[in-house]
Structure 1
Amino acid sequence: MKLFLFRLILDMLAIGLLLAAFAYNWFGNAAHEIIGTLMFGLLISHNVFNRRWYGMVAKGWREPRSVFSKTITLCLLLMMVGLLATSVIISQTVFDFLSLRSTFTVRQIHALIAYLVLLIAALHVGLQWSMIMRVVGQALHVKTGTRIQTVALRGLACLIAVYGVHSLFVLDIGLKLRMETTFRFWDFEAAAIEFILRHTAIIVLCAMIAHYSLKLLSLHKRDRRSPRTTE
C-alpha cells in the first residue's frame, strides 16, 4: 500500500504540473517548457510502475468494461506521444538546440492535444477512482461506507461536476478543441485560484463520467449473466 501511495503522489504531481502548464501566459515560455519536461519525467515513471499493463493490453477485448478502460488508456498514451512530439518541435528553450522548424499550425495542434490530454487523463483517473479512495481511506484511517457519508460525498461531487460543466464554457474548451483562435486571455493577476478550481472541476467531471460509466457497464454485465425467470 505504501508503494501505491507513493505512485499516487507522483501521479497527482504530474496532474498538478499539467494544470500549471496551462498557465502559459502567467509563467512564460521557459517555465512552461520546464514544467512540461518535469511532467513527462513523472509520466515515464508512471509507465515504468505500470509496465505489466502492456503485457495484458491484447487480452479482454470481449468485455465491454475492459474495452472501455483500455480504449481510454490507449487514447491517453497516443495523445501523450503527440504532446511530446509537438512540444519538441515548438520548443524555444529546453529542446531549442534541435533547431526544428515550428509553425503556427503545430502550436495550434499542441494546444489541442494538451486539452485532449487534460480530458482523457481525467477519464483515466476515474477508471481507478474506487481503488484510489479505498487506499487513501486506509492510509488516513478514515472509516467509509456510512450512508450519510456516501450521500454527502456524492452530493459534493455532483456540485463540483456542475461547476465543471460551467467551466467548460468559461474556459472556451469547445473553441480550443476546434482549434478556433480566441483573443480572450485569463487574468491570472485577478483570478489565479479560480483558474485552478475550474480546471480541477473539469477533471472531477470527467473522472465521474468514467467512474459511473464503469459502474453501468458492470451492472449491464451482471444483468446479462443473471438467469432469466420464465413464466
Structure 2
Amino acid sequence: MLTTRVAHRLLVPVAMAALLLLSLAYWWLDNIPHEIFGTAMFVLIAWHIAMNRLWFRNVFRGRYDGRRVFTVLLHLFLIVNMAVLLATSIVISRSVLAFLPLPNIAYLREVHWFCAYWVMIVVGIHLGIHWIRVMALLRSMLGLSRGSPLRAWTLRAAATANAGFGLWSFWVLGVWGKLTFTYSLEFWDFTASVTPFFGHWAGVLALPAILTHYVMTGWVSAASHGGRLAGLRNPTQRPIQSVG
C-alpha cells in the first residue's frame, strides 16, 4: 500500500512533465492533440494542488529564512505563470473550448507560448528544490538503501553530463530568445527528426533542476556551517551557581 501511494506521488509529476513536453510539440501534433494534452496537464495540476493543499495552509506559519522565502516566491511565480497559461489557453482555444463565445486575440498566442517556455524553466527549478524528496520517494519505492558512495558519485556524474547537455539544448532550441520574448521564425523541423526535440527540451528542463538542487544544497550546508561557527564563537555559558 505504501509503495503504491509513493508511486502515485511520483507518477503524477512525471505525467505532468510528459504532457508539458508533448504540448510543446505543437507543430508536430497540430492543434487538437495540443489542446487535449494541455487540458489533461491542467487536470493533473489541479489534482497535484489538491494533494499538496497543506502547503498553502502553512504559508503564513512558521519562521522564514532565506531558503523558504526563495521557495515561496518561486512557487508564487509558478502559480501566476500557470494561471496566465490557463487563461490564455481558454481564450485562444480552437478545439476543446471552441464553443465558448470568446474573441480571437492573436497577441494572446504569443503570450501563451511565452508563458509556456517560462513554465519549463520554473518547473525545472521547482523540481530541483524538491529533488531530495523525489529521491527519497524513489528509494522508498525501489527499496534502495541510503549511503551508497558508488551510487552517489554515479548520480553526480550523470547530473554533470545532463547539465552539459542542457546547456547545449538551450543553444540548439534558442531558449534564451524564447524567454525574452524575441520574435523568431525558426521552428524545429519535425520532418527531419522528432525524438531529439523531446530530448533537448528534457535537457532544458533538467538544467535548472540540477543547478537549483546543488545551489540549494550548498546554501543549506553553508548556513549549517555558519551556525556551527557562531556557536563556537559564542558558546552558551552556564549560569554560575552560588555556594552557600
TM bracket, shorter-chain basis: over 0.9
User: What root-mean-square deviation, in Å, do the aligned CA atoms of Structure 1 and Structure 2 show?
Assistant: 1.6
Contact 2:6 2:140 in 1 (8 A): no
**1:101 is aligned with what amino acid?**
P
**Matched residues in 2 for 1:63 and 1:143: separation?**
31
Contact 1:60 1:66 in 2 (8 A): no
Contact 2:23 2:34 in 1 (8 A): yes
Higher deviation after alignment, 126-135 or 111-120 = 126-135
Contact 2:6 2:141 in 1 (8 A): no
Q: SS state of the match for residue 92, structure 1?
A: coil
**Matched residues in 2 for 1:61 and 1:210: separation?**
22
The one-character-per-residue Cα deviations of 1:73-109 (angstroms, maximum 9, x if unpaired) are 1111111101000101111111111121232321111
How far apart are residue 61 of structure 1 and its match?
6.0
Q: SS state of the match for residue 191, structure 1?
A: coil
**2:24 is aligned with what amino acid?**
F
How far apart are residue 169 of structure 1 and its match?
1.4
**Matched residues in 1 for 2:61 and 2:146: separation?**
33
TM-score (norm 1): 0.93
Identity %: 31
- Structure 2 gap segments, 5+ residues each: 235-244
Q: Does 1:159 align with 2:161?
A: yes
TM-score (norm 2): 0.89
Equivalent position of 1:188 in the other structure: 190
Equivalent position of 1:147 in the other structure: 149
Of 41, 44, 47, which aligns to 2:46? Answer: 44
Of 51, 66, 69, which aligns to 1:67? Answer: 69
How far apart are residue 42 of structure 1 and its match?
0.4
Of 96, 99, 102, which aligns to 2:98? Answer: 96
**Matched residues in 1 for 2:170 and 2:63: separation?**
32
**Matched residues in 2 for 1:200 and 1:144: separation?**
27
**Matched residues in 1 for 2:110 and 2:63: separation?**
34
The one-character-per-residue Cα deviations of 1:129-155 (angstroms, maximum 9, x if unpaired) are 112112212211234432222112111
Contact 2:10 2:137 in 1 (8 A): no
- Structure 1 gap segments, 5+ residues each: none
Count of aligned pairs: 230
How far apart are residue 191 of structure 1 and its match?
2.0
